[in-house]
């Protein structure tokens, strides 16, 4: 393995000058701090709550508290760790209050365990951490390994490797003494390496090594957890094949530090406006551009009340995630994208006032069945022979009836919120199959596939990151066609719709 790269510093340089400018009354400085830290704060809250909207609420409270108490911060250079501590405490309080439960990990595991090209087979050859940021399956595998370490160790890894906090800063955030935090950071890095190696060998509970499979069965291990890590590590220590299979060019710490932050531009803009409505000077934030300020109140309400004609401008990361079967990311690529709310499939009534609109959306699923056409065999009339003539009747030619192709196409569920996590079990999945045809063509918003059968998670617009879809309200139609060898359509297509509401 290569040496770890240096842990990243606070985004865009030191925070001290901006903190001092905020204290001096500079109206642009806090907005710039907000732009630096929003994604990190929202990501940290999400890893506690597993709810993007609740995490946005926590982020709003954290930044509001930070602004109001910034004069109490003794060391301006510690702004980032201080802000993350506020957010973490707020998220934990929210979790205790709401008694939120993390979504079943099976969704994320299914995404990587049903892949046609397994991430376990790719991760060992990686030589550039940037590849982690561009591959949702690899990021999911690394989170799966970190989850097996337990909540505290995963949180310490996250703060140290992804957020770039030093052990003394982590001590302040999680409430440990500095010596204990320093030892814990060193220990969890070693444990992560062990867990990633075990996760590579796990392969959905069906390891390539028969002896390891037997070891899992003997230990009654049926899910990837701390016990699975222990069994895999013990086995690999005496198995040359498994020891070689779990090795990687990059260290697990390098790879985990490259896992991207959850980034949802819509939430960033809404929280910025909500803070501005609370009296926080946000003029320096780029997130304010082009979005009307909401009334005072929670960010969740301001997000859900958006009209059907609202325009959402999102600068999204260039992203490509391989398709991986049921519960996995659809293939996506994007540059700077301007997305407008899609019109509904039924009717839209707008009052004379330019500020009021009412939209009615109907979800329609069309199933088209082509009736079988039965062609009777062609027969030749029989000519009766006369006394002087003998006629031999040629056998009737045989006509083979070619059945029409069979198309199946479904969307489940057929509705989704404007923002959802692509790896969650509730993300909309498009399933299709074509039988009796040489080719297939599936088209629709952000989908263009030629597979004869597959299941993918759908995001009608380029995704805002490896795990999040933020799409305007509207109805999106997907069409499946059967084609012959020359690309000519065979019979009528099938369509389904996804309604974002």
460: left (phi over 0), alpha (psi -120 to 50) or beta: alpha
Q: What is the per-residue DSSP string for 105-164?
A: THHHHHHHHS-SS-HHHHHTT---THHHHT-HHHHHHHHHHHHTT-HHHHHHHIIIIIS-
pTM to 2 decimal places: 0.58
Q: Give ∠ CA 340-343-344 in degrees, rounded to 5.
A: 145
Which residue did the predictor score with more confidence, 186 or 340? 186
pLDDT band at 240 (very low <50, low <70, confident <90, very high): very high
Which residue did the predictor score with more confidence, 83 or 7? 83
State the pLDDT at residue 328. Answer: 35
Joined tokens for residue 149: 């370490």
Q: What is the per-residue DSSP string for 400-458?
A: ---PPPEEEEEEESSEE-SEEETTSTTS-EEEEEEES-SEEEEEETTEEE--SEEEEE-
Asked whether residue 442 carries a pLDDT value surpassing 80, the answer given is: yes
Please state the separation of Cα 50 from the chain's center in Å.
Answer: 12
Cβ neighbours of residue 36 closer than 8 Å, sequence gap 6 or more: 10, 11, 12, 15
CA atoms within 13 A on the CB side of 431: 12
CB 476 within 8 A of CB 434: no
Which residue did the predictor score with more confidence, 233 or 400? 233
pLDDT band at 371 (very low <50, low <70, confident <90, very high): very low
Joined tokens for residue 416: 């989704």
Span 307-313, mean pLDDT? 32
State the pLDDT at residue 115. Answer: 47
pLDDT band at 362 (very low <50, low <70, confident <90, very high): very low
CA distances from 61 to 64, 175, 274, 282, 442 (A): 5, 20, 10, 15, 44
State the pLDDT at residue 380. Answer: 44
Q: Residue 82, preceding bond cis, omega within 30 degrees? A: no
**CA–CA gap between residue 227 and residue 233 (Å, rounded):** 10
Phi first, then psi: what are they for 259, rounded to 5°?
-65, 125
Residue keyed to tokens 């063509």: 441
State the pLDDT at residue 131. Answer: 86
Interval 124-182: pLDDT, tens = 888 898 888 888 888 889 999 999 999 999 999 999 999 999 999 999 898 888 899 89
What is the H or E stretch that residue 497 is in? Answer: strand 494-500
Q: Which 8-state DSSP code applies to residue 498?
A: E
**CA–CA gap between residue 22 and residue 37 (Å, rounded):** 15
Interval 22-48: pLDDT, tens = 999 999 999 999 999 999 999 999 999
Asked whether residue 485 carries a pLDDT value surpassing 90, the answer given is: no
State the pLDDT at residue 394. Answer: 55
How many residues are present in the chain?
A: 501
Strands 415-416 and 494-500: parallel
Based on the number of CB atoms within 10 Å of its own CB, is 317 exposed (0-12), middle (13-18) or buried (19 or more)?
A: middle
pLDDT band at 11 (very low <50, low <70, confident <90, very high): low
**CA–CA gap between residue 500 and residue 475 (Å, rounded):** 6
pLDDT band at 455 (very low <50, low <70, confident <90, very high): confident
CB 438 within 8 A of CB 484: yes
> Which of 81-95, 104-118, 285-299 shows the highest mean pLDDT?
81-95
3-state secondary structure of 42: helix
Strands 419-421 and 474-483: unpaired
Span 271-300, mean pLDDT? 75
Asked whether residue 14 carries a pLDDT value surpassing 70, the answer given is: yes
**CA–CA gap between residue 110 and residue 101 (Å, rounded):** 19
Asked whether residue 86 carries a pLDDT value surpassing 90, the answer given is: yes
Joined tokens for residue 136: 């949702």
> Which of 6-10, 112-116, 374-378, 431-435 shows the highest mean pLDDT?
431-435
**CA–CA gap between residue 436 and residue 75 (Å, rounded):** 70
Poorest-confidence range of 43-57, 111-125, 415-429? Answer: 111-125
pLDDT band at 466 (very low <50, low <70, confident <90, very high): low
Cβ neighbours of residue 405 closer than 8 Å, sequence gap 6 or more: 434, 435, 436, 437, 482, 490, 491
Asked whether residue 241 carries a pLDDT value surpassing 80, the answer given is: yes
State the pLDDT at residue 106. Answer: 46
Phi first, then psi: what are they for 135, rounded to 5°?
-130, 105
**CA–CA gap between residue 305 and residue 298 (Å, rounded):** 11
CA distances from 198 to 106, 243, 282, 438 (A): 18, 10, 46, 41
Which residue did the predictor score with more confidence, 14 or 59? 59
Residue keyed to tokens 């995630």: 321
pLDDT band at 209 (very low <50, low <70, confident <90, very high): very high
3-state secondary structure of 395: coil
Dihedral, CA of residue 329, residue 332, residue 338 and residue 339, to nearest 10: -50
Residue % of the chain over a pLDDT of 70: 70
Which residue did the predictor score with more confidence, 444 or 314? 444
**CA–CA gap between residue 351 and residue 360 (Å, rounded):** 14
The whole-chain average pLDDT of the chain stands at 76
3-state secondary structure of 233: helix
CB 207 within 8 A of CB 201: yes
Asked whether residue 321 carries a pLDDT value surpassing 70, the answer given is: no
Asked whether residue 71 carries a pLDDT value surpassing 90, the answer given is: yes
pLDDT band at 291 (very low <50, low <70, confident <90, very high): very low
CB 309 within 8 A of CB 357: yes
């Amino acid at each position: 393995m290569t040496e770890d790269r240096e842990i990243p510093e606070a985004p865009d340089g030191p925070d001290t000058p901006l903190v001092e400018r905020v204290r001096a009354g500079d109206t642009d400085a806090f907005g710039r701090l907000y732009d630096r830290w929003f994604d990190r704060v929202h990501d940290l809250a999400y890893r506690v709550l597993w709810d993007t909207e609740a995490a946005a609420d926590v982020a709003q409270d954290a930044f509001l508290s930070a602004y109001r108490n910034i004069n109490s911060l003794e060391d301006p250079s510690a702004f980032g760790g201080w802000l993350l501590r506020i957010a973490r405490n707020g998220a934990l309080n929210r979790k205790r209050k709401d008694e939120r439960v993390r979504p079943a990990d099976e969704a994320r595991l299914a995404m990587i365990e049903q892949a046609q090209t397994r991430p376990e087979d790719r991760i060992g050859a990686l030589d550039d951490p940037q590849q982690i940021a561009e591959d949702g399956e690899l990021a999911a595998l690394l989170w799966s390994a970190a989850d097996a370490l337990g909540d505290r160790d995963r949180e310490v890894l996250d703060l140290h490797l992804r957020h770039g906090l030093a052990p003394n800063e982590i001590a302040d955030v999680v409430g440990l003494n500095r010596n204990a935090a320093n030892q814990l950071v060193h220990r969890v890095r070693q444990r992560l390496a062990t867990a990633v190696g075990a996760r590579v060998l796990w392969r959905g509970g069906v390891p390539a090594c028969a002896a390891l499979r037997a070891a899992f069965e003997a230990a009654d291990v049926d899910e990837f957890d701390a016990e699975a890590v222990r069994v895999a590590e013990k086995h690999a220590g005496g198995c040359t094949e498994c020891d070689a299979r779990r090795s990687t060019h990059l260290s697990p710490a390098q790879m985990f530090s490259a896992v991207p932050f959850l980034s949802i531009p819509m939430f960033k803009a809404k929280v910025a406006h909500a803070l501005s409505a609370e009296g926080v000077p946000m003029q320096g934030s780029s997130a304010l551009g082009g979005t009307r300020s909401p009334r005072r109140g929670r960010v969740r309400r301001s997000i859900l009340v958006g009209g059907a004609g609202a325009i959402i401008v999102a600068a999204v990361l260039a992203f490509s995630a391989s398709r991986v079967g049921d519960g996995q990311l659809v293939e996506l690529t994007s540059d700077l994208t301007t997305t407008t709310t899609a019109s509904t499939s039924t009717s839209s009534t707008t009052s004379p006032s330019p500020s009021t609109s009412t939209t009615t959306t109907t979800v329609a699923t069309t199933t088209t069945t082509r009736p079988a056409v039965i062609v009777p065999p062609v027969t030749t009339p029989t000519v009766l022979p006369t006394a002087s003539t003998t006629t031999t009747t040629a056998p009737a030619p045989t006509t083979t009836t070619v059945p029409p192709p069979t198309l199946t196409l479904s969307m489940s569920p057929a509705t989704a919120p404007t923002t959802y996590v692509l790896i969650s079990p509730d993300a909309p999945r498009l399933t299709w199959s074509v039988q009796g045809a040489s080719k297939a063509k599936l088209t629709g918003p952000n989908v263009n596939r030629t597979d004869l059968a597959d299941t993918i998670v759908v995001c009608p617009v380029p995704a805002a990151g490896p795990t999040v879809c933020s799409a305007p309200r509207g109805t999106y139609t997907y069409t499946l066609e059967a084609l012959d060898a020359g690309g000519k359509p065979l019979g009528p297509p099938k369509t389904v719709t996804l309604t974002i509401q």
